[in-house]
A and B are shown apart, each in its own frame.
Chain A
Amino acid sequence: MKRLPPQPDEWIDRSRTLDFRFEGRAVNGFAGDTLASALLAAGEAFLGRSFKYHRPRSVLSLANHDVNALMQVTHKGHSRPNVRADVTPLAGGEVVTAVNTFGGLAADKGRFLDRLGAFLPVGFYYKAFYSKRWFPYWERMFRFMTGLGRVDVAAPRVRTPKRYAFCDVLVVGGGPSGLAAALAAADAGAKVVLVDENQQVGGSGLFALGADAAQHKQMNELVLAIRSNRRIEVMTGCFASGYYTDHWVPIVTPTCIVKMRAAAVVLAGGAYEQPAVFRNNDLPGVMLGSAAQRLIHRYAVKPCERAVVFAGNDDAYRVAADLAAVGVVIAAIVDLRPAAPNSVPAGVEVRRGMAVVEALADRRGLLRGVRIATPAADGTWDHAATEEIACDGLMVSVGFAPALALAYQAGARMRFDMQTQQFVPATLPDGLFVCGRANGIHTLPLKLADGAEAGAAAAAVAHGLAPHPRAAMIETAQPSHPYPIFEHPRGRNFVDFDEDLQLKDFFNAAQEGYDNIELLKRFSTVGMGPSQGKHSNMNAIRILAKIRGEPVEKVGTTTSRPMFHPVPMAHLAGRAFQVERSTPLHARHVAAGAVWMPAGQWQRPEYYAVAGLRREAAITAEVVAVREAAGLIDVGTLGKIEVYGPDAALFLERVYTGRFANLKVGMTRYGLMVDESAVVIDDGVIARLSEEHFYFTTTTSGSATVYRELTRWNTIWGLNVGITNLTGHLAAMNLAGPAARRILKTLTDGNLSDALFPYLGAREMRVAGVAARLLRVGFVGELGYELHMAADCAPHVWDALTSAGKPFGMRPFGVEAQRLLRLEKGHVIIGQDTDGLTNPLEASMQWAVKMDKPFFVGQRSLQILAKQPLRQKLVGFVLADDATGVPKECHLVIEAGAIAGRVTSIAHSPTLKRVIGMALIAPELATPGRSLKIRIDGALEIEAVVTDLPFYDKDGGRQRIADGVDMLGEAA
């Protein structure tokens, strides 16, 4: 092929030459070329190798389903697989090779597979190579052969500016009917977005010209009207990748996805020209008529010198006219129809009622001619009576398949229209309209009228009006031949070019019983390749209909799913937002050398790194500080909820298992929460700040869900309470340790005396000048104050405490030390010492459950469970001092060779100088003094002994330290 002199509407810019490399050779094209048009213009005969047989291939459609011209494109340092040469604009400077070759396009070692063809029938791999012994080897070979392009594992992460957009009417497709629709909708006052995957609008109106000057003029005027209409936004080089619920259509642009929410959608995607099925219909030089027209009018590339046009419709004659107009000799028009149209170009031989049954290749594998014969309706033909016609180009125009994928996804019902031999919409969902070829309308004036009606109707819907009924267009043309499919004893008559499926493969599949369209698709993989059946599904349906002796409509179609064209993951991912939360003290932790651990959306300090100390040592130091002096931990991630009102106490009695009606003002109490099936889901500390005002905490992970569920319950109960979630607006920190009170004293005028602020008390006072709520709690088992204050003031308080604590040896401590401290104290962590099915009886928390209340969530289920034997029980244990190993959390408790439970928490206690832990075990083992066997990593079994909880300070004296009494260790 070679470049033509300038064409009226050509897309190329001859003033800008772009150089690139293809298969190691230097090539150049023009700006506006696609990779394929540039390569063809440069005389490249082969663009790729086929998927299975590695046959040389070139362009088929030039319409974004030339899957045999997929390229590996290396540009600006990294490489992209499966780039579609037929539509990808030439950038200049790229290095291009065909995918799926072994040793290059020309010398591809894979080509021997073409000769093996006979031994590789459809689904051949199902019938062979499955011996257990050999399959792995065979699979490795198979995986080596398959897979098209290569992934460049050094390629960078690409983040794209994905965005939302809104319009009244979205028109998909910028051909004649789409342009008419956009214009009509805009004239009706709608804000219109018009999307076309081509680089310029106009569609077939500007390439399927048939050298018709009037059409050319009319179309250019229409395009001008669109361009100059301020209500219409035109997006070219973009495609709608799918239709999702409520007119939600992602538009894939070269750089990102635009998520379009439209009030109404017009689908004007046109139709895909379909190949005829005959031997060697995949030879380079054989292409669809529309591909030849695109080459001529868009890229000024001469498709061949001497052409045969294979006709099944009148479009073929326009193809011939366009070819002739650029100096291509028309060797013949081979028309399947006995009666050809009136307008036959002068001097062109038309062979009526005949078919191309074989394309003939020369030594280099290029088209040298065609064999034609007179076919019967079933695709058979008289092998004795054939003749050859020499040509270097064969243009096939025998039929179309509508681009209805988005309509299917929207839930449209289709019917098969006999006149046009295609599926057309029968019923469409509200606000969705289809026009043009996709609607079975093929001739230009009708397409324009059909589009205008669809556009007006869409605008009406967008404005909330009833769409006026659309007049039924009557298409008199017959654009699609019912069966352009011709058997050949030597096969190589391809139906699916992606998957290298031949006609006989379908008969074989049906023979095996895969004879409904879905099974056929799955067994043969027809339409499963990158082109998603755009050129193969329609012929597959026709073939199956013939096999089953049923009408095409009964055979039906397979379901259509996004993506319409494949979409890069980076486009879908966008910027990939990652929600992260941080407490007001985050910067303080960074400054203090925090080592972070994730906790849901939060990052929390696991511990604070100390120069010269290993992780364990640093954690131990934090534990020791809390036990012997003081420690400060950020507990701001806890949920913080406030309940006000006359019914506040009643409300808490319903949502927690414990009793709160009798909780004294100024005091706190532990609260346990279960769900309706009595599974433990959350816990916290409830403070009563006044008769009708409670303030309480939830677990870190529970904060959002607990608040949500509490408000839902009260929506049902309608109690007179106000519930507020303060989680993010308040900060919280726990100051704990024997020195806690003395440290705090230096920062507040409030009375901290044990008499006025006893253990479990709750007070409000200023700390470092900041109004704060103080809860005297003992989670870590020492004298402790949980300080809650306004988030914006928290860093100030933290700083003040940090300097006030220095003289006392106070340290900040992290989650890991807290875990250890609470374990010494025998306090449960919901979600670690319990799992998704643990109830309070199993968790040994009956003490926190008041069954004699009138009602609480989960109470009724607990009554049922109370009647049943326990399934497991949470206990404490210690390892024998001479234990030869230390188990980890979730190591199993083994009794008589059977699993009898698991370790939920375990650690070496720096305070008790031994390994302590908790375990959920079989109740019969849960007696203090009972010895347990804990299995480590499926092997060694370690002895442990069940003990009462807590391990540390059993009478809780340390939490209750009275004033003046100095229990500070030497550390102070």
Chain B
Amino acid sequence: MTSGAIMPERVSPVHAVVAATATRWTTRNRMALAADFADMARTALPVWLMDVSHRFRFGFKGAGAPAWCSAQGLTLPGAPNTWAQMQGGGLVGRLAFTEFYVEHEDEALVTRLTDALGRGVQMPAGGVYPVHRRDAGILLGGARAQDVLVQVCNVNFGAVDVGAMPLIMTLMVGVAVTVFPMIEGDQTVYRMACDPTFAPHLWSTLAEIAADCGGASLVTL
């Protein structure tokens, strides 16, 4: 493996495809991430990709899910298919009506939620069920991010009102993806989550098109 002698406990679903080009590595949340371009300002690139699979993810669903969400002190996204910012750079997304998706840097926080809901083998709280998630996390940004999106997805992201904090569940090159558009600085950045077994295909496709658009894949820390 390109990622050094001791294999960290966690492996990014896109590790192998990234490893094909990566030369510098760093470890984050017990996961090896490529660190090429790490010192470069993202905004300098017309389009860039970033592997954020190291973040911790967790979901819950069921009739009691909205109430449980609030009970855990999480901001409840009011409308279906919207998301809310969490302390410390995490987010909670509301998938349709009664399913929620949580993604955060802080393992302790995610563990607390998981435990609060019980470890599966125990009885779940009334009408709320845990959803075990290990999505691949991909960040797409840059002035020409749109040029990449219009080659992979039929949704008109140019017309999306980012301010309304929507999340969009759609297909990208045949892969089911949940997209969280967000403003970072003066750029719109697209945070995406997908089934990790599709991630290598999605990543290499996005990377190929990004490269055609003069971009690159990178990790900034």
Which residues of A come within 8 Å of B, CB atoms? 161-166, 261, 575, 577-584, 586-587, 590-591, 636, 642, 644-645, 689-693, 695, 720, 722, 724, 726-730, 764, 769-770, 790-796, 799
Contacts and interface: CB of A to CB of B under 8 A. Distances in A.
Contacts of B1: 587, 591
Most buried by B among A583, A587, A691, A722: A722
B124 A644 contact: yes
A792 B28 CA distance: 13
A692 B205 contact: no
Contact of B150 (A164, A581, A693, A728): A164
B200 A792 contact: no
B61 A577 contact: no
Contacts of B31: 792
A792 B53 contact: yes
Contact of A792 (B134, B152, B153, B209): B134
Nearest to A591: B1
A726 B61 CA distance: 14
B37 interface: no
Given A581-B201, A792-B196, A164 B153 contact: yes
B175 A579 contact: yes
Most buried by B among A161, A584, A591, A791: A791
B195 A692 contact: no
A794 B134 CA distance: 11
B16 A587 contact: yes
A843 B11 CA distance: 42
Contacts of B201: 578-582
Nearest to B29: A792
5 nearest A-B pairs in the assembled complex, by CB-CB distance = A728-B195, A722-B129, A579-B174, A728-B197, A644-B129
B7 interface: yes
B121 interface: yes
B134 A764 contact: no
Contact of A584 (B123, B133, B196): B196
B135 A793 contact: no
B123 A575 contact: no
A583 B197 contact: yes
A164 B170 CA distance: 15
A579 B177 CA distance: 13
A581 B13 CA distance: 11
B173 A577 contact: yes
- The prevalent SS among residues of B at the interface is loop
Given A693-B120, A792-B13, A579 B173 contact: yes
B45 interface: no
Report the contact-size class of chain B (Cβ under 8 Å from the partner). Answer: 35 or more
A590 B209 CA distance: 26
A581 B124 CA distance: 32
Contacts of A575: 151, 205, 208-209
A217 to B, nearest CB: 38
B156 interface: yes
B41 interface: no
Contact of B197 (A162, A164, A581, A790): A581
Nearest to A726: B132
13 contacts: A575-B209, A577-B152, A581-B197, A582-B201, A584-B13, A584-B197, A590-B16, A591-B1, A689-B120, A690-B123, A728-B195, A792-B10, A792-B13
Contact of B212 (A161, A162, A692): A161
A577 B205 contact: yes
A764 B62 CA distance: 24
B89 to A, nearest CB: 19
Nearest to A692: B123
A591 B19 CA distance: 14
Contacts of B134: 728-730, 790-792
Most buried by B among A577, A578, A636, A764: A577
Given A579-B173, A586-B16, A796-B7, A729 B133 contact: yes
A729 B175 contact: no
Nearest to B56: A792
Contacts of A590: 16
B9 interface: yes
A579 B196 CA distance: 13
A584 B11 contact: yes
B15 interface: yes
B198 interface: yes
Contacts of B13: 584, 791-792
B171 to A, nearest CB: 10
Interface in B117-157: 119-124, 127, 129, 131-135, 147, 150-154, 156
B108 interface: no
B153 A724 contact: no
B121 A724 contact: no
B93 to A, nearest CB: 16
Interface string B42-64: 00000000000100000001100
Contact of B200 (A163, A582, A689): A582
B81 interface: no
Given A165-B150, A579-B198, A729-B132, A795 B11 contact: yes
Nearest to A256: B151
A807 B147 CA distance: 54
B154 A164 contact: yes
A724 B174 contact: no
A636 B156 CA distance: 35
B132 to A, nearest CB: 5
Contacts of B9: 769-770, 793, 796
Given A164-B150, A690-B122, A690-B123, 5 more contacts: A161-B209, A166-B159, A581-B198, A644-B124, A791-B197
